[in-house]
Amino acid sequence: MANDTPQQRTKAPEQYLFGLLKTYRRPTFLHERFERLVALILSGAIGVIIIISLIQVIRTIFMMLVVGALDPLDHTVFQSVFGMIMTLLIAMGFLHSVVRMAVRNDSLIQAKTLLLIGLLALTRKFIILSPSETDPDKIAALAGATLALGAVYWLLRERDDRLQMRQDEEENSRTDTSI
């Protein structure tokens, strides 16, 4: 690998696609094949839901523009529009994690990805939340959950950063000794 030229290290898109198809055929265990099949079906279903939801969001915003009800300074309009947009972002994040599981041979969805999806969901909740109609206890509980998810995400990222630094140091020491 160390003597490869940059042209040899980069793959053409069709080679990458064929590699993905080969990895799809690679699982030897029945449960791995089943996981892949379920992930592919889920990704198709989530993709259809995202497309339908996107059409609904565009239609709603267009209707608001035509009627003249799209006033970004109006709190309820802001809540509804950005609530719809955040829902789409959450669905796209979930789709990304399912596709990643299916394509990359990951048997489990990455914990960091799930934490980010959870943080997005909580952010959406804060956006659509009406402060005057919401109990302070509920707001405090949501804030605590957000803080906890953020702290766990930070800890996982720090761990991954340390592991990556160790791997880089080991790789550098191996290349230094081979020179």
pLDDT of residue 11: 55
pLDDT of residue 48: 94
Regions in the chain scoring below 50 on pLDDT: 1-8, 27
| Closest alpha carbon to 122 in 167, 89, 74 | 89
CA 52 to chain centre: 19
3-state secondary structure of 69: coil
pLDDT of residue 8: 46
Which stretches within the chain are classed as H helix? 6-9, 13-25, 30-67, 75-103, 111-128, 136-178
* CB-CB contact of 128 with 83 (8 Å): yes
As a whole-number percent, the residues of the chain with pLDDT over 70 amount to 77
Amino acid, res. 84: M
